[in-house]
Structure 1
Amino acid sequence: MAQAPKIFASLADPTRLRIVALLRAMELSVGEIAQVLGQSQPRVSRHVKILIDAGLAERRKEGSWVFVSLGERARMEPLFQLLDRWTELDGDNAWVAADAARLAAVRADRAAAAERYFASHAEQWDALRSLHVAESEVEAAIARALGEAPLGKLIDIGTGTGRMIELFGTQAEHALGIDRSPEMLRLARVKLAQAGLEAAELRQGDMYALPLPSASADTVIIHQVLHYAQTPAAAVAEAARLLTPGGRLLIADFAPHEREELRARDAHARLGFADEAVLSYLEAAGLEGEVVEHLGGGELTVTIWLGTQPAERIREVA
């Protein structure tokens, strides 16, 4: 009860109540909140700080943008039950429909920006895709590798446009995508919103120092990311750190190749990986590794590897 007075005080201002309602619909940048409310960013920032101090919102910097999301679920759910009940008794406030319309405009702006980005990079991405088997076949192979077992808490490292979460997020208890690029995260937000997965979480982070505690994931995916790593063994070890007992790390990447132009054109640090190399990374990270599948059919072969965190070893370390 100690926090209750601060919570109700923070909601006494109609603007802050509107912000909470907006964040219930989707995570927003401070600039986007200002756009919907028709207020200045400094004023919105002050309101957001009060909500954060009350535990009703969380602030996260992503490049030059600052994103705001709701506070922890356990605190927010009873609050929304109360607000929903009051709405049933008293009806919607006049600002609800207007804010919803302006929020739709924010979604449209995001989608337009995403389309411009995709259009400007389409030729580059198409050139790479033409070198290997169809993405649909790779995605089907990943689904086979993950099988029917529950995904639990899913983390996609180097999420890019959020495709892995789009495919598997509905099978997970909770889905989180991490990427170093703020631009890619903004694209992912658009794609996941269009797929009805706005509840999925996205964070900026480095694959060598993930902003998450150990043993916080049941399933981790590194899809077409490892070839960008200067020290792939360190990236695999950091991903393995996240796994709970029995958790799984799935890696999909290229087998060894000699397409040197990918270094300069696409910033590939590694020209694919031999099975022995990836299995050694997994073993060094304390995982039991296996080669799941090789997918030929183009100049580049895509391989899927799987590492499992042994429950016995975790207990011994503990």
Structure 2
Amino acid sequence: MAPLIDIFRALADPTRLRIMALLRAMELSVGELAQVLGQSQPRVSRHVKILTDVGLADRRKEGAWVFVGLGDRVRVEPLLAAADGWRRPEDHEARADRDRLTAVRADRAAAAEAWFADHAAEWDAIRSLHVAESEVEAATVAMLSAGMVGRLVDIGTGTGRMIELLAPLANQALGVDRSPEMLRMARSKLSDAGLASVELRQGDMYALPLPPGSADTAVLHQVLHYAQQPAAAIAEAARLLVRGGRLLIVDFARHEREELRQRAAHVRLGFDDAQVQAWFGDAGLILDEVQELAGGALTVKLWLGRKGAGPLSKRIAA
């Protein structure tokens, strides 16, 4: 931990105080920070490095972009509380920063809208093959709300829908995705939903950027059918869980829709219960619940596993 004097030195600059205020509102790329602050990217990067060196900010590279968020909450929250106590009436610069931040949000939303417009037909074609997404989401919430969600990690978060859905049940929520484009879409969506403080990270489902025991609940929602190595992805998700922690997989039951390999890049054509149970067992998980949602050419299934302890598996009829 940096000495207290170094922390206060890092904050003894108007630009760095402005950066802290902006990061409190939402995670931003270095380019977006430069846009809001009206400064060059190299200059903003130097300020960010000073904040990062004392643990007040956290930098993460996602493709060609570098995103910046607040640092460890144990370090940052007392300083934010002090800033609230010392806050003076909002000045012109703070109002201008807030207005430019609104413009950044609008740019993200426009990019997200364009992306979804380009992919809407593909997504709608797959959705038409199974029960309504609202039914899947209701089943997901019901299954997880039966226990403590705690620290939630959504693996392959995509557009952030599971974070948006489950964050109210969680103490903390973090989404991981390999695609920088998807993470930018998620940031826009979650910001619009008032969840700008949710953490998003770029990472591979086979090598998640998190330590063991960092999650109480992990979710793989419509992700596993893209996996070349589903067993490895499940084992990596299980690694994150505390003892008694839960892993929920939402995916398709085994099917024969071969066209989805070409049309939607599906690697696996669904899964059966015995297969998932075997993978859970290899990862130190016990299959706790299985729920089936039939209705359409594809059947959606939910498999809930528990690490290290739990009752024998039980089936819930749809």
| Separation (CA, whole Å) in 2 of partners of 1:14 and 1:201 | 26
| Separation (CA, whole Å) in 2 of partners of 1:162 and 1:187 | 8
| Separation (CA, whole Å) in 2 of partners of 1:275 and 1:188 | 31
| Separation (CA, whole Å) in 1 of partners of 2:218 and 2:12 | 42
TM-score by length of 2: 0.94
| Separation (CA, whole Å) in 1 of partners of 2:40 and 2:18 | 15
- Where does residue 54 of structure 2 map in the other structure? 54
Q: Contact (CA 8 Å) 2:145, 2:169: kept in 1 or not? A: no
| Separation (CA, whole Å) in 1 of partners of 2:29 and 2:130 | 37
Q: Contact (CA 8 Å) 1:158, 1:180: kept in 2 or not? A: yes
- Where does residue 80 of structure 2 map in the other structure? 80
CA apart distance, 1:2 = 6.1
CA apart distance, 1:205 = 0.6
Q: Contact (CA 8 Å) 2:289, 2:305: kept in 1 or not? A: no
- Where does residue 123 of structure 2 map in the other structure? 125
Letter in 2 for 1:132: H
- Where does residue 257 of structure 1 map in the other structure? 255
Candidates 132, 135, 142, aligned match of 1:134? 132
SS at match of 1:18: helix
| Separation (CA, whole Å) in 2 of partners of 1:2 and 1:149 | 38
Letter in 2 for 1:8: F
- Where does residue 109 of structure 1 map in the other structure? 107
Is 1:64 the counterpart of 2:72? The answer is no
Letter in 2 for 1:12: A
CA apart distance, 1:34 = 0.3
- Where does residue 159 of structure 1 map in the other structure? 157
CA apart distance, 1:292 = 1.7
| Separation (CA, whole Å) in 2 of partners of 1:85 and 1:295 | 51
Q: Contact (CA 8 Å) 2:286, 2:306: kept in 1 or not? A: yes
Candidates 187, 208, 211, aligned match of 1:210? 208
Offset from partner CA, 1:41-91 (integer Å, 9 cap, x none)? 11111111111112211111011100011111122122122222222xx43
Offset from partner CA, 1:79-109 (integer Å, 9 cap, x none)? 122222222xx43333111100000000000
| Separation (CA, whole Å) in 1 of partners of 2:13 and 2:72 | 21
| Separation (CA, whole Å) in 1 of partners of 2:3 and 2:45 | 21
Letter in 2 for 1:138: V
| Aligned 1:1-318 pairs, distance under 5 A | 3-87=3-87, 90-311=88-309
| Separation (CA, whole Å) in 2 of partners of 1:144 and 1:55 | 38
CA apart distance, 1:311 = 4.5
Q: Which 5+ residue runs of structure 1 have no aligned equivalent?
A: 313-318
Letter in 2 for 1:187: M
CA apart distance, 1:148 = 3.0
Offset from partner CA, 1:133-192 (integer Å, 9 cap, x none)? 110111111122213322001111111111111111011010011111111111111111
| Separation (CA, whole Å) in 2 of partners of 1:93 and 1:85 | 16
SS at match of 2:59: strand
Q: Contact (CA 8 Å) 1:28, 1:67: kept in 2 or not? A: yes
* Percent identical: 67
Q: Contact (CA 8 Å) 1:208, 1:235: kept in 2 or not? A: yes
Q: Contact (CA 8 Å) 1:279, 1:290: kept in 2 or not? A: no
4+ residue segments displaced more than 6 Å: none
| Separation (CA, whole Å) in 2 of partners of 1:219 and 1:16 | 35
- Where does residue 316 of structure 1 map in the other structure? none
Two-structure CA RMSD over aligned residues (Å): 1.4
